A and B are shown apart, each in its own frame.
Chain A
């Protein structure tokens, strides 16, 4: 039976079908749904790790024990895991090990557009590049087989478009399966799994030889399995392509012969050379960097067109591939624009905003008041939106966990202003504890605001070590952030209610005055999408009291609207509150200077 599955759902299904027994991830768009789906299959242990390196380390240990394993992460998560990734390539694996890297061309929800195929070349392991959900499902098993045959980690690379689009998959119905224990551990003399320098030096030539063997596999078995394939059409044009780019090529250049690489590293160079010799001209169409194109040129294969016409930046689309093909003279330019001119209408933008009732709102409303005295180092999470109007309270933002180190460094280098780091609960467990330890140790005078909304919110509400529930819904052990920072040696720890404007303000003021090492302010309030959040009676504006001062508009709540009524003296519109959107968080009520906002009696 055919079912529509997203790329991520298909990867989970493929992993289950291929006998993956243990899988780990840290949530990150667009990779998150892989583990969420895999966790629902029988006989699989699936866990959220506290960060991507932990996820990879966990599965490496399981692989050494003999289990088939999978780790999933977004592209920038692979940077976090890279230390172990580079070494596990040297150690090799026992049970098949697949690392799913979900790249984000277009940076729909990421800080960069890095092309993780480079990791495969850098780390000397293979990379598979599926082009639809059915390939995503099939390639997981192929990746695991390949991993075991060559004792190498294998990267399965997805992109946002693959992970979050649905296409038909030949789906089996999951049968019950018991979780099986591993066979007794086989201890080896001089194990390559202990990567001391002597082992590393011995392994390096073996890894180079392994890579040559895998390139041979790419030229024969990969074609037998349909991972790499040639689709012969006309001989005037040959296209080398991989991943989602293949889909655009098939539509824009239907007459071209295509060498589709399901494995973008290592390349079957002789097969590509042979393909090139049979067509009049060869082009390469790939997303982001000229990863394939560069290798072909280095091998002396003549590439008529590649990144000279197809963009390096942003996600490829049908339109961009068409434009590139026109620029290369491969398809005729459209003589007349088939599209009628756009109607002349000003369309207001719809930027993202903190949700009505969001526990970050009152904190950023307060933080804005300290902008003249303090620099604000932000972190990755919903609170990144603190950079947007009306708060505009973020001076720097780099990567997961970076806020604490950046604030510390700014002060240590002699920064005049106070330094505030804002970091979420999940991010704190991900990579906030290590820089906090360094800040405490070095007697840093920074304020660290930990915005504890009891969930990994931005990726769609995943549990983490602070919540006490595991990915598979079991009771875990919840770690209390206040206890952690006190035990680490922070001498000022204030815990405040996320919806209490005055309490947050007092906490911030005291924290900024604290002189004995870092001060930690824990802002506690559950994300409105969690089971912990309680809706309160909604708010309404008493139009007789409202003086149109605009204070409530500056809390940036989507539920607070401008009403048609105006205040006679200023002529400005009064406020009104959308009854469907309001969650009754009371932040607007607290900031209203004339008590015009009141709860609705229900």
Chain B
């Protein structure tokens, strides 16, 4: 692998920053240079979160350029649609089937598109769309907060990278008492593809 641009998107509180931290660390562990950059001003308050992760022999800008993202990792359906323009033609989308309804919809000013509409829009641009139902898998792993680890598991299957590099990066990042549930969540995420 020479270089890779990933964009992690979703809603504040979904564990996106931790997941993108881990993805950047995996790049370093694979012997590449890596950078990540996030915008999280109001993230705690249910706002949009974006986090760029870039791997290359030498990375300059910590953010990707629109239209050059190889893998869009969306933790929420609507956010996948919001950021699809950033994907390069025939890039890959990993999308979690969760719907987090924004205030503009709940107060009736806007409509949340149907899941099929969103997936159709994603497929117009993407070469591959991997739909992950991460919440039930995280519950099965033993903690709903491992949604992000399930998604990393699914993401890892798309890349020619040794799975244990990912698993080790995850286990180093999470508190010791959550290692078992995260290891389980990672395996459930991987099982989706392999």
Query: CB-nearest residue of chain A relative to B84?
Result: A343
Main secondary structure of the interface of A (DSSP, over half): loop
Does A562 sit at the interface, judged by CB under 8 A? yes
Whether B37 is near chain A, meaning CB under 8 Å from some CB there, is: yes
Cα distance, A560 to B121, chains bound together (Å): 29
Does residue B181 face the partner (Cβ distance < 8 Å to A)?
Answer: no
Contact in complex: B38, A561 (CB < 8 Å): no
Task: Assess the A352–B46 pair: CB atoms within 8 A.
Answer: yes
**B121 and A343 contacting across the interface, CB-CB below 8 Å:** yes
Per-position 1/0 for B39-74, Cβ under 8 A of A: 111101111100000000001111111110000000
User: Is B24 on the interface with A (CB-CB < 8 A)?
Assistant: yes
Chain B CB within 8 A of A2 CB: yes
CB–CB A319/B125 < 8 A: no
User: Is B103 a contact of A161 with CB atoms below 8 Å?
Assistant: no
Within 8 A of A (CB), among B58-114: 59-67, 78-79, 81-82, 84-85, 88-89, 101-113
Cα-based distance from A460 to B12 in the complex (angstroms): 13
B112 / chain A contacts, CB cutoff of 8 Å: 348
Interface size class of B (residues with CB under 8 A): 35 or more
Instruction: Decide yes or no whether B167 CB sits under 8 A from chain A.
Output: no
Q: How far is the CA of A16 from the CA of B165 in the complex (A)?
A: 31
Output the nearest chain A residue to B106 by Cβ-Cβ distance: A561
> How many Å lie between the Cα of A340 and that of B121 in the bound state?
12
Binds A, one of B27-35, B155-163, B183-191: B27-35
Instruction: Please tell me the number of chain A residues within 8 Å of chain B, measured between CB atoms.
Output: 52
Asked if residues A558 and B106 are in contact (CB atoms below 8 Å), the reply is yes
Q: Which of A327-351 touch B at CB < 8 Å?
A: 338-340, 342-351
Interface residues of A in 28-75 (CB under 8 A from B): 29
Complex Cα–Cα for A248 and B21 (A): 22
Contact with A along B109-131 (1 / 0, CB 8 A): 11111000110111011000000
Option from B34, B37, B41, B78 in Cβ contact (under 8 Å) with A348: B78
Residues A338 and B46 in contact, CB atoms below 8 Å apart: no
Comparing A163-171, A215-223, A481-489, the segment that makes contact with chain B is A163-171
Instruction: Judge if A465 is at the interface, Cβ distance under 8 Å.
Output: no
Q: Tell me whether A4 and B21 are in contact in the complex, defined as CB-CB below 8 angstroms, given that A340-B89, A354-B45 are known contacts.
A: yes
| A202 touches B (CB below 8 Å) | no
Residues of A within 8 A of B107 (CB): 389-390, 553, 556, 562
Question: In the bound complex, how far is the Cα of B46 from the Cα of A352, in angstroms?
Answer: 6
Nearest CB of B to A303, in Å: 23
CB atoms of B102 and A166 under 8 A apart: no
B38 to chain A, nearest CB (A): 6
Write the B8-26 contact mask toward A (1 if CB under 8 angstroms, else 0). 0001000000000100110
CA–CA, A319 and B110, complex, Å: 30
Task: Answer whether residue A109 sits at the interface, using C-beta atoms and an 8 A cutoff.
Answer: yes
Which residues of B sit under 8 angstroms from A553, Cβ to Cβ?
106-108
Chain A, Cβ-Cβ closest to B29:
A2
Shortest Cβ distance from residue B147 to the other chain A in the assembled complex, whole angstroms: 12
Chain B nearest CB: distance from A584 CB in Å?
18
- Contact digits for A459-484, partner B, Cβ 8 Å, 1 yes 0 no: 01000000000000000000000000
A353 close to B (CB within 8 Å)? yes
The answer to whether A560 and B113 have CB atoms under 8 Å apart is no
Interface of chain A residues 357 through 371 with chain B (CB within 8 A) = none
Residues of A within 8 A of B124 (CB): 340, 343
Shortest CB-to-CB span from A286 to chain B, Å, is 15
Instruction: Tell whether, in the assembled complex, residue A251 and residue B60 are in contact, meaning their CB atoms are under 8 Å apart.
Output: yes
Q: Is B113's CB under 8 angstroms from A352's CB?
A: no
B108, closest chain A residue (CB)? A562
* Cβ-defined contact, B47 with A350, below 8 A: yes
Residues of B within 8 A of A441 (CB): none
A413 to B115, CA, bound (A): 56
Are A167 and B59 within 8 A (Cβ)? Answer: yes
User: Would you call A172 an interface residue if the criterion is a C-beta within 8 Å of the partner chain's C-beta atoms?
Assistant: no
Q: Chain A nearest CB: distance from B158 CB in Å?
A: 21
A318 within 8 A of B: yes
Residues of A within 8 Å of B101, CB to CB, are 561
**In the complex, A111 has a CB within 8 A of chain B:** no
Nearest-neighbour CB distance to chain A for B58, whole angstroms, equals 9
Q: Could you tell me the distance in whole angstroms from the C-beta of B183 to the nearest C-beta in chain A?
A: 22
Query: A577 CB to closest chain B CB, in angstroms?
Result: 11
Q: Do A339 and B36 have beta carbons less than 8 Å apart?
A: no
13 contacts between A and B (CB under 8 A): A4-B25, A109-B42, A167-B34, A167-B35, A319-B65, A338-B67, A345-B117, A350-B11, A350-B79, A351-B47, A390-B107, A556-B107, A562-B107
**When A and B form their complex, which 4 residue pairs have the shortest distance between CB atoms, in order from nearest?**
A343-B121, A348-B110, A165-B37, A165-B62
